[in-house]
Amino acid sequence: MSFKVNSRKCMTVLIFLFVVLLIMVSVGCAGPAPTPTMVKQSVKVGLILTYTGAISPAGFGACSGFMDHLKWINMEGGIEYTDPVTRKTERATMDLIWEDSQYDAARSVAIYKRLKAARVKLISEFGSTPGEAIAASLSADRIPCYNFYGCGSPAGYKPEPRYYLVSLPTPSEEDVFASSYFIKQWKGDRPPRIACLALAIPSWRPLDEGAPKEPVSKLGGVYVGNEWFVPTATDLTVQLQRLINDWKADCIILHPQASHTATALRNLRSMGKEIGVGPGKITVMVVQCGHDERLATLPGELVDGVLCELVAALSSETNLPGVKLAVEKVGPAMGRSPKDLTQLYMTGFGQAYVVEAWLKQTLEKTGLGGLNSEALRDTLFNLKDIDCGGVLYPVTVRAPDYPSTTYWEKWAKLIAGKGYTEISDWMRVPDLTGGRW
């Protein structure tokens, strides 16, 4: 049996099959269909930092830790939050816009104006003097600001409504806190006499008003007053002689930078004074900005027994999750050596947890699209028990609408060649008459 082949039909079928084959090959080579690219969400965050200037020894360490941690959060995908409408898990990075204020009030004001023009949603800054310079503008423009390393004083408390929150107590509260610890260690048969030697910066000047005198007296001591020195001081003998020889101080509370502390210790040695607690000795207590691990490289006859305020965990405490993160991941990723992770670095690193929590809590109320200054301000002034990975004591605003957080510190002894030896647990710095003047 024979069949006739229709050549025209056969050619049509072959062409059809060839076209189908081409389509299949082209689809296979192209791979899977592309998925829509997720739009990166970000929040503009303004930062007024201090890397140079009068307070640069403290500023460089604290600002480095703070910035490193914020950058790390961005590297890890940003701040995770639950959208209040969709209930989906979202992430938002921080568009970090920063400048160095050099701890200068006029420069801080100029930076603030640029940040305002950039339409930042919030500001975080270092230093009480730069912060106080913009406090009134923050209230007028309704831009919330968290001062992650600055003490409270009247200039920062006065503007209404409040948009400026500080993380440190007033200088007077710090002096009462230090006095309380010293008085408990005192073994003399008379009330101990306590004095203050402070760097002359505007936010510390309210010490001249003598606020510590009454509470120190109630604790069983005598607060004899304070002396001042300029940032460029290279000798503090005159001030120390007045405090010790004229005012008979048994304890001197230093509000300096680390270099000034080293100068004061050398001067005391030259004056023949022995550091310690008890009659005939001088107790030296240094607030958190006035010391770091470099002081331990000085000879033992200068530094052994100096008491230092600690506001953050030490880099050796890697059992704490926040310290472990800083030491094992963030520090190395940012090119930091172990010696860079000072107690000042750890303080700034811990404070970044507060900014992260501040943004997370607000985003979970408003979502990114609804993020606004009023919501940010409301969250900021109601922060409570913020977990800082053990680096800092959990952070809480003293009371709703109050312009300062509670503050907890430890005491440590400085030992030459070794560093800090902690001698107390966390203790809360007491409020003075509600904490402000």
Per-residue pLDDT tens digits for 321-359: 999 999 999 999 999 999 999 999 999 999 999 999 999
Would the pLDDT of 257 be above 60? yes
The domains spanning 42-169+320-408 and 172-312+424-435 adopt the same CATH topology: yes
φ, ψ of residue 276 in degrees (nearest 5): 165, -170
List, in sequence order, every residue forming a beta bridge with 404; answer none if it has no partner: 166
Query: In one letter, which amino acid is 40?
Result: K
φ, ψ of residue 46 in degrees (nearest 5): -90, 140
CATH of 172-312+424-435, one of 3.30.420.310, 1.10.760.10, 3.40.50.2300, 3.40.50.150: 3.40.50.2300
The domain covering 42-169+320-408 belongs, at the CATH homologous superfamily level, to Response regulator (3.40.50.2300)
Please state, in angstroms and rounded to a whole number, the distance separating the CA atoms of residues 157 and 169.
12
The tokens describing 33, both together, are 């269909």
Query: In one letter, which amino acid is 428?
Result: R
Which are the contacts of 158, defined by CB distance < 8 A and separation ≥ 6?
135, 136
Please state, in angstroms and rounded to a whole number, the distance separating the CA atoms of residues 355 and 349.
11
Would the pLDDT of 425 be above 90? yes
Domain borders along the chain are 42-169+320-408, 172-312+424-435
| pTM (predicted TM-score) | 0.89
Would the pLDDT of 412 be above 70? yes
- Of residues 302 and 115, more confidence is placed in 115
Q: What is the pLDDT of residues 295-307, one digit of tens each?
A: 999 999 899 999 9
List, in sequence order, every residue forming a beta bridge with 308; answer none if it has no partner: 286, 412
Please state, in angstroms and rounded to a whole number, the distance separating the CA atoms of residues 137 and 332.
38
Mean pLDDT, to the nearest integer, of 26-50? 63
Peptide bond into 394 cis (omega under 30): no
The tokens describing 46, both together, are 């303004």
Query: In one letter, which amino acid is 106?
Result: A
Residue 437 pLDDT level (bands cut at 50, 70, 90): very low
Q: What is the pLDDT of residues 130-174, one digit of tens each?
A: 999 999 999 999 999 999 999 887 777 778 889 999 999 889 999
Query: In one letter, which amino acid is 420?
Result: Y
What is residue 320's predicted lDDT score, i.e. its pLDDT?
A: 98
